[in-house]
Each structure stands twice: as C-alpha cells, then as structure tokens.
C-alpha cells in the first residue's frame, strides 16, 4: 500500500542540513587543532596524544552512530520515546551516586578511558518524550492548562537532576523547549515575559535600580497617557500600574537576588558581564581573553594556527566552551560571520523541515532540536562576546568532546531520519 521505504540509507535525507552539519564538524575540528596547537611543540592534527586527534576519533565514532540511526526504523523513536526518557532519567540519578567528578561536577560516567556525560543526552531523551506526549491528539496547549502539568514534569525532572549534579549550564538548556512550546500554542505572553525579565536583569546590572524604576514609571505614564480612552476606562490604567509595579519589584528582587542570594562565584560570573576586570583572574579571565582574541582578529583574522591569544591554554576551555574565540582570532570577522551564518542557516533549515512534517511527533521533535541548537549557539557565542554570562555549555558540533558531539549528532540525525521518512507517514496533526 505505502511506497517502499528505505531504499538506501541516505534516501530523502535533507542534504542542506547534512552539508551544514559536516561543515560545522570539520571547521570545529580544525579549530580544536588550532586551539591546542603550540608552536613550540608542533603536533600533527591526527596525533592521538592531543585533543585534535582525539576529536578525530570522536568524529569517526559519530559517523558510525549516524549510520546506526539511519538504519533504525523511524518508528522506533516514537515507540520507545518514554523508555529512552526513563532510561536517561535513571542514568542521571545513577550519576549522582556513582558518577566521577570532573571539574567540580559529578556528572560523568566513566566507560574505559572515556567519560560520558548523561546530561548531554538527557536533552535528546526529553525531546523525544515531549514529542511523544504532544503527539497525542487529545493534548492541546491552547485549550487546557492541565496539559502543561505533565509537560512541566517531563522537562523539570531531568533538569532538576542535572542541577543536582552541579551542571547549571546544561540545566538552563532546558529553557530552550520554550521555542517548541511557543510554536505548539503556548501563549506568547510567557516567552515575552521571560525575555522582558532577562532584559530587566541585564539592566539591573548595568544601571542603578532607581533609574530603572524611574524609567519604568515614565514608560508606564506614557502608556497610560497614549492609551485610548476606552481602554483606560476598562481597567487599562490599573493593568499598566500593576505591570509597572511588578517590573519594579522584579528589578529590586533581582538586585537583592544577585547581591544576597547568589553565591559569590555565580555573582561574579554575572558581574563580569558589566566589567570583566571586576574579577580579572576569575570569571572575568575568560571573557577578557575571549574579547581580546576576537577583537584582535579583525576582518580576516590572523590565519590558521597563527593566533597568539588562544595559544598557551589561557582559558582551560579554549577547545571546548570557548572554541569560538579561536575562530574569531584566526579567521576574523569573516570566519565568525560564516560560523554564525552556518548556525542560523541550520536552525532555519530545521524550522523549515519541522514545519513540513506530517506528524506532530516529528514537528515537535524538530522544534526541540532547533531550539536546543539555537539555545546553545546563543549562550555560547553570547558569552564569548560578552553578551551573556559565562555559562559552561558547548558550541554544538564545534566544541571538543565526545559527549557533546555524539549527543548533538544523534539529536540532529534522528530528526533528519524522521524527515527522510516523511513521504511515508500519514498526516496526523
């Protein structure tokens, strides 16, 4: 009845996305080599004693993984979504008790010589579980508030477990599901409020809280003054005053939160956004280094392996979280812009692909993938250029590390597999 499926593994694969993916991984690999390269001890890019060589191995294993994903029937993910989710939740619990500690976070499982971070894979499992739940036609985000409860549960359970293992960065990534939820009907006010809050937080850091309060009051006054009379009479004034009051409360609350609740190292990570020299040897270090590296790159950069700031391992995360500095320094504005374009292109492509899915499961999953990659991209590049606080999350496909590369590749290719099977599925929204 239905056309034959799976003639070849790569049939119907979206080559645009695959091409961008391959470019990202290769550029990332070269930049890892550049980041760990030291002119005194030149090593080969294939040298397994150093990170570029190890990354090559990870890339190799990733290719095998991708083949496995393409072999497995797409229905597998639909069918086993909850099982996979449950498995990773268990792993996250296990890691709390039996994990090995690396860099202060107890979130690694040692498999032979390699360490694997279940938190990286939890995003994938959560995406599948959310897609599975939302694929139920009875579930609606526009009509019933009750449906939000299980969704919140699915997201918060792994997020909390990750927080417990001290991986704040990975936990924050779970906020990226907002993109998908918004697309699936969550009221726009929720992300809007979130963004306003974020802006207010940054403002609180930059400007005296009294000025912000004054600004909010002025804006509120203008809003009331410009408001059509009918709206004003219909409780518009009250609403505006309440909103303004809430915003001022948020500003003061934030101020209190930053100064009194946050731990010192967390506070300094936020404070360096404003002035990296407030802690030049701590949190500000990375930011200073990063800005100097990117700033010195200029238009075309210093050239491959010619970077000076990114050598000598100034920043321990040079090849992982701060890989973008290497791009900025050695390939300049052009290189950085190319990387930004690759990401924007990939995310846009994912959105397009998600939109063309016939099943809600695939669309939701597609949006999750797009959201996660988008979030990582924004936070990671944002922190290297001083737009975001230093949150240790990797740049997808670029950063050194097996867990990260594997998880993003699996995340992406499961979706591409679903997409390739699109002609054979029945529309069911």
Partner 1 sequence: MKKGNTSEKEALMKRAYVVATILVLLAVVVVGRLVWIQRVAVYKGKTWKERAEASTMRMDTTQAMRGNIYASDGSLLATSIPYYYVVFDAKYPDSLFLAHHLDALADSLVSAFGRHTKSGYKSMIEKTRKGGRSTLRLHPRAISYRTRERIKRWPFFRRGDDTLKAANGKILYRKTIAGKFTTEYRRYRPFSPMADRTVGTVNSENGRGRVGLEASFDRQLAGTNGASWVQVLPRGVRLPVSDEFNLHPEPGHDIHTTLDINFQDVAESSLKKALEKYQANFGCVIVMEVATGKIKALSNLTRKGAGQFVDDQNYALAMGADPGSTFKLATMMAVLEETGIDPEKVWVDTGKGRLVYRGLAINDAHRGGFGKLTASQVLEKSSNIGTHLLMQRYFYSKPDKYLAYLEKFRLKNRTGVHMQGEAAPFLRDRDSKLWGKTSLTPMSYGYDMRMAPIQILALYNAVANQGYWVRPMIVEQIRSSSEIVNTYEPYVTPSPICSERTIRLVQGMLEGVVQRGTAPELKASPYRVAGKTGTAQKIVDGKYMARRGLRVSFVGYFPADRPKYSCLVMVDNSIAGGSDLYAGEVAAPVFKQVADRIYAYDLSLHEPAQLAPAGVPAPVKWAGRADEVEVMAKVLNLNTPPEDESDSDGTPADSNRWMQGSTASEGKTKWVARSVEKAQVPDLRGMSLRDALFIMENRGFRVGFKGSGKVVSQSLAPGASIAGAKRIMLGLE
- The reply on whether position 292 binds partner 1 by CB under 8 A is yes
Scanning 100-108, 231-239, 339-347, 413-421 for contacts with partner 1 by CB under 8 A, the matching segment is: 339-347
Instruction: For the segment 130-169, give every residue that binds partner 1 (CB under 8 A).
Output: 142
In terms of CB distance, is 173 or 220 closer to partner 1? 173
DSSP 81-119: HHHHHHHHHHHHHHHHHHPEEETTEEEEEEETTEEE-HH
- The reply on whether position 283 binds partner 1 by CB under 8 A is no
- The reply on whether position 314 binds partner 1 by CB under 8 A is yes
**d(Cα 201, Cα 223) in Å, to the nearest integer?**
22
Two tokens, residue 142: 């526009």
**Do the bridges between strand 105-111 and strand 114-116 make them parallel or antiparallel, or are there none, so unpaired?**
antiparallel
User: Which residues lie closer than 8 Å to 62 by C-beta, 6 or more apart?
Assistant: 25, 405, 406, 409
Two tokens, residue 44: 């080969």
| Coil, strand or helix at 41 | strand
- The reply on whether position 337 binds partner 1 by CB under 8 A is yes
- The reply on whether position 385 binds partner 1 by CB under 8 A is yes
Distance spanning both ends of the chain, measured CA to CA:
22
Whether the Cβ atoms of residue 83 and residue 56 lie closer than 8 Å to each other: no
Scanning 102-110, 162-170, 380-388, 403-411 for contacts with partner 1 by CB under 8 A, the matching segment is: 380-388
- The reply on whether position 277 binds partner 1 by CB under 8 A is yes
Smallest distance, partner 1 to C-beta of residue 294, A = 6
- The reply on whether position 285 binds partner 1 by CB under 8 A is yes
- The reply on whether position 114 binds partner 1 by CB under 8 A is no
In terms of CB distance, is 94 or 299 closer to partner 1? 299
Smallest distance, partner 1 to C-beta of residue 263, A = 9
Binding residue (CB under 8 A) for partner 1 from 39, 153, 295, 423: 295
Smallest distance, partner 1 to C-beta of residue 108, A = 21
Instruction: For the segment 341-360, give every residue that binds partner 1 (CB under 8 A).
Output: 341, 343-344, 347-348, 351, 354-355
- The reply on whether position 82 binds partner 1 by CB under 8 A is no
User: Which residues lie closer than 8 Å to 379 by C-beta, 6 or more apart?
Assistant: 169, 172, 173, 388, 391, 393
Binding residue (CB under 8 A) for partner 1 from 243, 378, 422, 424: 378
- The reply on whether position 217 binds partner 1 by CB under 8 A is no
Per-residue CA distances from 239 to 150, 151, 195, 235, 429 (Å): 31, 30, 19, 6, 37
In terms of CB distance, is 99 or 392 closer to partner 1? 392
Whether the Cβ atoms of residue 314 and residue 297 lie closer than 8 Å to each other: no
**d(Cα 395, Cα 87) in Å, to the nearest integer?**
26
Mutual orientation of helices 118-134 and 75-98 as an angle, nearest 10°? 140
Binding residue (CB under 8 A) for partner 1 from 112, 229, 264, 426: 264
Look at the block and give the residue holding tokens 């279940």: 118
> Could you tell me how many residues of this chain bind partner 1 (CB under 8 A)?
50
- The reply on whether position 16 binds partner 1 by CB under 8 A is no
Binding residue (CB under 8 A) for partner 1 from 75, 110, 233, 298: 298
Torsion sign, CA atoms 163, 88, 172, 401: positive
Smallest distance, partner 1 to C-beta of residue 185, A = 6
Binding residue (CB under 8 A) for partner 1 from 80, 82, 114, 182: 182
Smallest distance, partner 1 to C-beta of residue 258, A = 15
Smallest distance, partner 1 to C-beta of residue 373, A = 11
- The reply on whether position 177 binds partner 1 by CB under 8 A is no
Please write down the long-range contacts of 245-252, taking CB distance under 8 Å and 24 or more positions apart. Answer: 247/196, 247/200, 247/216, 248/212, 248/213, 248/216, 248/217, 250/197, 250/200, 251/200, 251/203, 251/204, 251/209, 251/212, 251/213, 251/216, 252/209, 252/213
User: Which residues lie closer than 8 Å to 342 by C-beta, 6 or more apart?
Assistant: 20, 23, 24, 27
Smallest distance, partner 1 to C-beta of residue 107, A = 23
Scanning 49-57, 129-137, 280-288, 418-426 for contacts with partner 1 by CB under 8 A, the matching segment is: 280-288
Residues that bind partner 1 (CB under 8 A): 142, 179, 182-185, 188, 264, 277, 280-281, 285, 288, 291-299, 308-309, 312-314, 316, 328, 332-333, 336-337, 340-341, 343-344, 347-348, 351, 354-355, 374, 378, 381-382, 385-387, 429
């Amino acid at each position: 009845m239905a056309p034959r499926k799976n003639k070849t593994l790569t049939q119907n694969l979206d080559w645009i996305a695959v091409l961008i993916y391959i470019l990202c991984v290769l550029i990332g690999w070269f930049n890892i080599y550049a980041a760990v390269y030291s002119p005194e001890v030149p090593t080969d890019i294939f040298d397994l004693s150093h990170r570029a060589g190890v990354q090559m191995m990870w890339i190799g294993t990733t290719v095998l993984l991708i083949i496995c994903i393409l072999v497995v029937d797409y229905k597998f993910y639909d069918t086993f979504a909850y099982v996979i989710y449950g498995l990773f939740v268990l792993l996250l619990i296990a890691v709390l008790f039996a994990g090995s500690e690396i860099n202060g976070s107890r979130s690694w499982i040692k498999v032979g010589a390699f360490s694997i971070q279940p938190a990286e894979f939890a995003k994938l499992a959560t995406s599948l579980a959310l897609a599975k739940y939302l694929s139920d036609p009875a579930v609606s985000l526009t009509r019933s508030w009750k449906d939000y409860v299980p969704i919140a549960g699915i997201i918060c359970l792994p997020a909390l477990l990750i927080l417990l293992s001290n991986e704040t960065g990975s936990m924050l990534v779970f906020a990226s599901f907002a993109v998908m939820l918004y697309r699936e009907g969550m009221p726009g006010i929720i992300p809007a409020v979130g963004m306003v809050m974020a802006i207010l937080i940054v403002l609180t850091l930059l400007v005296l809280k009294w000025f912000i309060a004054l600004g909010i009051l002025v804006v509120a006054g203008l809003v009331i003054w410009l408001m059509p009379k009918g709206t004003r009479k219909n409780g518009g004034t009250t609403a505006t005053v309440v909103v303004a009051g809430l915003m001022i409360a948020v500003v003061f609350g934030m101020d209190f939160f930053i100064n009194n609740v946050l731990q010192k190292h967390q506070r300094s990570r936020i404070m360096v956004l404003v002035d990296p020299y407030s802690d030049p040897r701590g949190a500000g270090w990375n930011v200073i280094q990063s800005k100097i590296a990117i700033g010195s790159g200029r238009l075309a950069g210093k050239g491959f392996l010619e970077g000076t700031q990114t050598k000598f391992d100034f920043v321990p995360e040079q090849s992982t979280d701060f890989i973008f500095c290497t791009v900025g320094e050695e390939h300049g504005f052009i290189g950085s812009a190319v990387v930004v374009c690759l990401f924007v292109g990939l995310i846009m492509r994912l959105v397009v692909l998600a939109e063309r899915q016939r099943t809600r499961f695939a669309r939701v999953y597609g949006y999750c993938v797009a959201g996660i990659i988008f979030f990582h991209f924004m936070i990671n590049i944002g922190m290297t250029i001083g737009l975001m606080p230093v949150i240790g999350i990797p740049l997808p496909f670029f950063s050194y590390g097996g867990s990260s590369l594997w998880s993003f590749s699996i995340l992406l290719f499961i979706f591409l597999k679903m997409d390739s099977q699109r002609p054979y599925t029945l529309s069911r929204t």
